[in-house]
Amino acid sequence: MHIAVLVKQVPNPESLAAVLRIDEAVCKIVLPPGHPMVMSPFDEQALEAALRIRDQSAAQMRISAVTLGPESARAALKQALALGADDAVHVLDAAFDSADSYLTAHALAAALRRLGTVDLVLAGRQAADWDAGVVALGVAEILDLPSVAFACAVQASSESVRVERVLPDGYETFELAMPALVTVSNELGEVRKPNLRETMRAARKPVASWNAAELGLDARELRARRKLARLYLPQKRAQCEWIEAETAAARGALLAQRLHAERLIPKP
Amino acid sequence: MSKREIEGDWVMGWPDRKRLELNAGKDAEGRVLSGRTPILDQEGLITPTDSSYVVTQLDMPEPVHPDDWTLTLGGEVERPLRLSLDELRNFPGRSVRAVTECAGNDEGFFDYQARGMPKPSRRYVPDLSRRAAMKADRGTPGNEELRGEMGNTCAMSGGEFTGVSLAELLAHAGPKVGAQWVWLEGFDRGRPDPAVQYRSMGHADVAIDDPGVIHYDKALPLAKALDPDTLLAWAQNGEWLLHVHGAPVRCIVPGWSGNWWVKWLSRIEVTREMPPCYHQTKYFVYGATPDDPQKPMLTAMGVRCIITAPLDEDSPLERGTHAIRGLAWSGMGRIERVEVSVDGGASWRDAHIEAPRERWLWVRWSYLWEANAPGAYRLLARATDEKGRVQPQTPWNYQRKHFDGIVPSDVVVV
Amino acid sequence: MSADILIVPEFGQDASSPVVCELITLARRLAQSAHGRVGVLVLGAAAPEPDAWAGSGVDCIYFARSSGLPLPEMLVAAATEAARRAASAIVLLPHTTAGAELAPRLAFRLDGAVASGCVDVSVEADSVRCTRPCYGGLAREVDEFALAPVVATVRAGIFERAPAHAGRRPELIDLGSFEATRARRIDRRTEAAAGARLEDAAVIVAGGRGLGGAEGFDLLAKLARELGGAVGASRVPCDLGWCPHSWQIGLTGKTVTPELYVAVGISGAGHHMAGCGNAKTIVAINSDPEAAIFQDARFGVVGDYREVVPALIAQLRSLNDASSRKS
């Protein structure tokens, strides 16, 4: 079985809140020098889903990590290889420098076609930068693959893939004929860390770099559809009224009185 | 035994083991304000610079360009000096390898031993970024939060420092007869954070003296200032001193706790009387209680010996041979002997002390323990220094400084 | 120029569903700017009664036959067909599991563009502007697309319910039925939610990492009962198994818009606020005075929730008793 995992490199979202600035004139985020770039956390979960399928299967299994991004995005591929992917593809071309989800989906779909027979495509439910959740499902549409989004568990047999997902009011399980595409959500659970053995093996694993021409894409024909008209940090609206009293319990009681006085507790 | 999973990392483009990582407290812009050394994972005697602990009493200052930095040496001297960094570096240089240890390191073990509190863990990782944010807002922890903290640990590191002997400079300036103190001042400023002293005491029940905004300063007794190993250093571990460690120049005071190692040094004054340095008269003092009229300043550290493996957390252990390992050092000179007990102190055996044994640096020691019978064991280690001092040297004191007791590892063999 | 708007609600929602009403409000506004009509796609075993949609603000109903819960594949096919029939310029979906899953496929099949999780959509000259949170809710982006179908999923609670449009009875257009051949649903379990559904609750008491464990949610449930509300959570407690995943509120969970939102032990990271930032009043209880949640809160209490919440419950109870005695 051949599984392809779509990964994206993003600014580390864990430490972004304190440092994120935006240059509104050019609609670009500004990060402090040295802010770490990491594999988007949902993509780590997609890769984890692939690795769990391999752990539970006796069949021959190949896992390819695929990314589109600048030269620096190679680090995300190396991390994927260190976590256990077998090979990697870096879609790299200046034509994709300001690619939107439309262009990215077409480029990744072309890369998957070139990769050969892929039975299952996995991706994070959304990337931690734009939070759009569009590219992977766009790839499914371009390649005409059945898809399920937001999986919390993925099991694959030779013919089909079983996908569970969390709903607002419960769970549902689908069965898809392969080849198929599944996006993975955080409910999948804890992901593994790169260990030294795999990291060392990863150094010898192949990373292919494909440009637009090699993918048979004409950059003039494929143009971004989104124009970023504005990017900004929203103003915080509330002025917090601090409930002050000697003890925590007294503050709790005082809060009840304030909510009551301001008639903020809706009548059932 | 099953193989341990070792975490991997990419270093200089190549796969490697994960490197030591400072447990750091950072501000909103990601700048390190404080940090603890992952001492349990350190190999060898020198702590990598990036993992050396960072403790700062006042506000982290803005960096000063080396060309803009000058050092003045005045007061009770025949020939006052004003030196640029290049001029300072023209004095005969000297390198010293020494342990830097925060005076409050392992403070939580005082309460464990003297007051029956739960044993702190050397693996305890405090949230230093939260503390930094609290300090920025002059917030202080309450008693309840303080009870939840385990006390300072891992605030120690070993390093090689390169600079010039303070004695060389003093010889050049010529102290006048009657000079007793060498007053050292950094260019860092700020208002002492009460939270630091609350954490030191483990409670917030005592009013903290507020001197307003001050420079960080200490006054060394002349004798210690004239020790040739007391340095003004511009380099650490083979490279220029980092800003967080006091660049361009800091003091190195081997054997004395970290608060003496004045960072960002800018002014030296020789005096007859001890100047009323806040961090020498109000904080970093001994005393049985906050009301104790006798509050002598802290000076040399006691005798230290810690077990780095196995710890309580490594229990249960498989039957067989285990190496008990650790570090030992002293504030007064080199370590002569390390003894280990595997029966709670009933009997003691000599541990192997690894070379080199340097005067101010710690030594690594090890003891091979044949743990063949299942059961609970209390492992102890104690050191003796070249002055014949044993542990503990320092009794409980209200600021919980200079802990040097013998801390057991309690493990079970199955 | 004129451009039509198509609404694709969740399966089973009708003209009375709050989410549909909100989408109709937005759709009417867009239709006015674009001089178009508003259509809605309805799936079901039997064709809907157009009278049920009379006065809702919808001009036509596209009906696709589906015996039970449709599969994602059928939804895409039906929505594509409806959008093509209507020559829709803008397709609006609720930003839910099904909506967010359907929108990208629909957009790519229509050879259009897509914006997910929008908080605003507008038509300007010959372009569509979509405003949406990004970077974990920390930032907002405004995307501009050409009016060649744009598919947008819209967050709940942003738009008011549409006022009634007197007498208009929509036209019914039957699209036939759609098949799914490559996927099947093999199980669906619903968890009986205790009390009000989070999406509909007027009061929500939500817990975060600061609760320190599953038992903290018992206390929050008591507070929720006292306030007549529901219990929710930020992502961490769900991931740690302290509470069901269905309680998750935020960028990757539910979007809620209660009157009163009591956040307990929640730091207030952007990705959580993306799900509750439109609550009318936010109250934050947190032991960390630096927590970002206080920047969004109307009332802030610093302290251990184990002490604050029981006292809050007790005081609420006595105030309730007092006011019920008075009346």
Nearest Cα residue to B52 out of B42, B66, B65, B63: B42
Whether residue B307 lies inside any domain: the answer is yes
If one counts the domains in chain B, the total is: 2
Nearest CA in chain B to C292: B133
Contacts of A197 in chain B (CB under 8 A): 6, 8
Q: Where are the domains of chain A?
A: 2-210, 238-268
The answer to whether residues C124 and C142 touch, using CB atoms and an 8 Å cutoff, is no
Contacts of C288 in chain B (CB under 8 A): 130
Read off the pLDDT band of B398 (50, 70, 90).
Answer: very high
Task: Specify the pLDDT at position B302.
Answer: 95
- Strand partners of residue B329: B304
Q: For residues B199-211, b (16+ Cβ closer than 10 Å) or e, as one string? A: bbbbebeeebeee
d(CA B169, CA B73): 9
A142 vs C: CB within 8 A: yes
User: Which of A126, A134, A235 best tests the C interface by mutation, with the highest count of C CBs <10 A?
Assistant: A134
Tell the residue number behind the tokens 């250093």, with chain if given: B233
Task: Specify the pLDDT at position C160.
Answer: 86
Residue B266 has pLDDT above 80, yes or no: yes
Which range of A202-211, B21-30, C84-93, C277-286 scores highest in mean pLDDT? It is A202-211
Contacts of B6 in chain A (CB under 8 A): 195-197
User: How far is the CA of B72 from the CAs of A156, B87, B216, B218, B265, in angstroms?
Assistant: 74, 12, 16, 15, 10
Nearest Cα residue to B186 out of B59, B98, B321: B59
Read off the pLDDT band of C148 (50, 70, 90).
Answer: confident
User: How far is the CA of B44 from the CAs of B16, B37, B112, in angstroms?
Assistant: 18, 14, 29
Query: Within this chain, do residues B168 and B221 fall inside the same structural domain, yes or no?
Result: yes
Query: Within this chain, do residues B100 and B235 fall inside the same structural domain, yes or no?
Result: yes
pTM of the model: 0.81
Tell the residue number behind the tokens 């979509």, with chain if given: C130
Report residue B158 as tokens: 């070993």
Kindly state the average pLDDT of the residues A64-69: 98
Helix (H), strand (E) at residue A201: helix A196-202
Query: Within this chain, do residues B283 and B353 fall inside the same structural domain, yes or no?
Result: no
- C93 or A158, which is more confident? C93
Beta carbons of B134 and C287 less than 8 Å apart: no
Task: Specify the pLDDT at position C77.
Answer: 95
Summarised one tens digit per residue, pLDDT across range A98-141 is 889 999 999 999 999 999 999 999 999 999 999 999 999 999 99
Angle between helices A101-115 and C97-109 (to 10 degrees): 80
HSE-CB for B379 with a 13 A CA cutoff: 29
Percent pLDDT > 70 in chain A is 99
- A58 or B181, which is more confident? B181
Task: Specify the pLDDT at position B1.
Answer: 36
C304 vs B: CB within 8 A: yes
The answer to whether residues A90 and A209 touch, using CB atoms and an 8 Å cutoff, is yes
d(CA A227, CA A231): 11
Summarised one tens digit per residue, pLDDT across range B200-245 is 999 999 899 999 999 999 999 999 999 999 999 999 999 999 999 9
For the ranges A88-92, B63-67, B146-150, B370-374, the lowest mean pLDDT is seen at B146-150
Whether residue B3 lies inside any domain: the answer is no
Residue C307 DSSP symbol:
H
R_g over Cα of chain B: 22
Read off the pLDDT band of B3 (50, 70, 90).
Answer: low
Kindly state the average pLDDT of the residues B182-187: 98
User: How far is the CA of B48 from the CAs of B42, B156, B231, C196, in angstroms?
Assistant: 9, 12, 20, 56
Chains touching chain A at 3 or more Cβ pairs under 8 angstroms?
A: B, C
Number of other CB atoms surrounding residue B10 within 10 Å: 17
Read off the pLDDT band of C196 (50, 70, 90).
Answer: low
Task: Specify the pLDDT at position B150.
Answer: 82
Read off the pLDDT band of A34 (50, 70, 90).
Answer: confident
Nearest Cα residue to B17 out of B52, B43, B46: B43
Domain C203-326 in this protein, CATH class: alpha beta
Helix ranges, A30-173 (H) = 41-55, 74-83, 101-115, 135-143
Which range of B254-263, B290-299, C179-188, C214-223 scores highest in mean pLDDT? It is B254-263
Task: Specify the pLDDT at position A266.
Answer: 83
The answer to whether residues C289 and C232 touch, using CB atoms and an 8 Å cutoff, is no
Beta carbons of B15 and A35 less than 8 Å apart: no
Query: Within this chain, do residues B312 and B290 fall inside the same structural domain, yes or no?
Result: no
Read off the pLDDT band of C124 (50, 70, 90).
Answer: confident
**Angle, vertex CA B106, rays to CA B101 and CA B110, nearest 5:** 135
Query: Within this chain, do residues B124 and B26 fall inside the same structural domain, yes or no?
Result: yes
Nearest Cα residue to C277 out of C264, C299, C290, C258: C258
Task: Specify the pLDDT at position A21.
Answer: 92
Summarised one tens digit per residue, pLDDT across range C172-192 is 999 999 888 888 999 998 876
The answer to whether residues B45 and B98 touch, using CB atoms and an 8 Å cutoff, is no
HSE-CB for C288 with a 13 A CA cutoff: 23
Kindly state the average pLDDT of the residues B247-275: 98
Q: What mean pLDDT is reported for chain B?
A: 94
Whether residue B381 lies inside any domain: the answer is yes
Q: CATH code at B315? A: 2.60.40.650
Summarised one tens digit per residue, pLDDT across range A180-222 is 999 999 888 889 999 988 999 998 999 999 999 999 998 777 8
Summarised one tens digit per residue, pLDDT across range C305-320 is 999 999 999 999 998 8
Kindly state the average pLDDT of the residues C114-131: 93
CATH of C4-177, one of 3.40.50.620, 3.40.50.300, 3.40.47.10, 1.10.286.10: 3.40.50.620
Query: Within this chain, do residues B91 and B237 fall inside the same structural domain, yes or no?
Result: yes
d(CA B72, CA B78): 14
Helix (H), strand (E) at residue A6: strand A2-7
Task: Specify the pLDDT at position B99.
Answer: 98
Query: Within this chain, do residues B223 and B272 fall inside the same structural domain, yes or no?
Result: yes
Query: Within this chain, do residues B294 and B309 fall inside the same structural domain, yes or no?
Result: no
Angle between helices C216-227 and C305-326 (to 10 degrees): 20
Mind giving me the DSSP string for C276-290? HTT-SEEEEEES-TT
d(CA A245, CA C301): 9
Whether residue B14 lies inside any domain: the answer is no
CA B5 to chain centre: 31
Residues 6+ apart with CB under 8 A from C2: C34, C35, C36
Beta carbons of B15 and A203 less than 8 Å apart: yes
Nearest Cα residue to B327 out of B58, B25, B122: B122
Q: Where are the domains of chain C?
A: 4-177, 203-326
Residues 6+ apart with CB under 8 A from B400: B104, B107, B108, B110, B111, B151, B200, B201, B202
Query: Within this chain, do residues B149 and B287 fall inside the same structural domain, yes or no?
Result: yes
Nearest Cα residue to B118 out of B316, B286, B312, B377: B312
Phi, psi of C78, rounded to the nearest 5 degrees: -65, -45
Task: Specify the pLDDT at position C254.
Answer: 82
Whether residue B395 lies inside any domain: the answer is yes
Kindly state the average pLDDT of the residues C240-269: 87
Query: Within this chain, do residues B171 and B281 fall inside the same structural domain, yes or no?
Result: yes
Nearest Cα residue to B361 out of B390, B384, B331: B331
Residue C326 has pLDDT above 70, yes or no: no
**Amino acid type, C215:** E
Q: CATH code at B89? A: 3.90.420.10
Report residue A250 as tokens: 């007294």
Residue C126 has pLDDT above 60, yes or no: yes
- Residue among C145, C269, C284 whose CB faces A225 most closely: C145
Q: Is the peptide bond before C50 cis (omega within 30 degrees of 0)?
A: no
Summarised one tens digit per residue, pLDDT across range A6-28 is 999 999 887 787 788 999 999 99
Q: Could you tell me whether strands C150-154 and C113-118 are parallel, antiparallel, or unpaired per DSSP bridges?
A: parallel
User: Which of B144, B146, B149 best tests the C interface by mutation, with the highest count of C CBs <10 A?
Assistant: B144
Residue B298 has pLDDT above 70, yes or no: yes
Task: Specify the pLDDT at position A11.
Answer: 94
Residue C143 has pLDDT above 70, yes or no: yes
Q: Is the peptide bond before C310 cis (omega within 30 degrees of 0)?
A: no
C72 vs A: CB within 8 A: yes
The answer to whether residues B411 and B313 touch, using CB atoms and an 8 Å cutoff, is no
Residue B52 DSSP symbol:
S
- Residue among B137, B144, B145 whose CB faces C290 most closely: B137
The answer to whether residues C154 and C25 touch, using CB atoms and an 8 Å cutoff, is no
d(CA B127, CA C119): 36
Residues 209-248 of chain C whose Cβ lies under 8 A from any Cβ of chain A? 227-228, 235, 238-239, 245-246
Task: Specify the pLDDT at position B135.
Answer: 83
CATH of A2-210, one of 3.40.50.620, 3.30.1130.10, 1.25.40.10, 3.40.50.2020: 3.40.50.620
Name the strands in the sheet holding A120-124, side by side, starting at the edge strand that comes first in the sequence. Answer: A207-210, A87-91, A62-68, A2-7, A120-124, A180-184, A147-156, A160-167, A170-177, C183-190
Residues 6+ apart with CB under 8 A from B197: B206, B208, B283, B399
Phi, psi of C85, rounded to the nearest 5 degrees: -60, -45
Read off the pLDDT band of B2 (50, 70, 90).
Answer: very low
Phi, psi of C310, rounded to the nearest 5 degrees: -60, -40
Read off the pLDDT band of B348 (50, 70, 90).
Answer: very high
CA terminus-to-terminus distance, chain C:
59
Number of other CB atoms surrounding residue B375 within 10 Å: 9
Total length of chain C: 327
Which range of B3-7, B363-367, C289-293, C322-326 scores highest in mean pLDDT? It is B363-367
Residue B163 has pLDDT above 70, yes or no: yes
Q: For residues C268-295, b (16+ Cβ closer than 10 Å) or e, as one string? A: bbbbbbbbbbbbebbbbbbbbebbbbbb
A227 vs C: CB within 8 A: yes
Kindly state the average pLDDT of the residues C195-201: 76
Q: Are domains C4-177 and C203-326 of this chain identical in fold?
A: yes
Beta carbons of A18 and B28 less than 8 Å apart: yes
Residues 6+ apart with CB under 8 A from C277: C137, C296
Whether residue B63 lies inside any domain: the answer is yes
Query: Within this chain, do residues B136 and B266 fall inside the same structural domain, yes or no?
Result: yes
Interface size between B and C, measured as CB pairs under 8 A: 11
**Angle, vertex CA C248, rays to CA C247 and CA C250, nearest 5:** 145
Summarised one tens digit per residue, pLDDT across range B19-32 is 999 999 888 777 89
Read off the pLDDT band of A3 (50, 70, 90).
Answer: very high
Domain's final residue, options B299, B314, B332? B299
Domain interval for residue B375: 303-413
Most distant CA atoms of chain A, gap in Å = 70
The ipTM assigned to this model is 0.91
| CA distance to partner chain C, nearest, from residue A206 (Å) | 32
Beta carbons of B8 and A82 less than 8 Å apart: yes
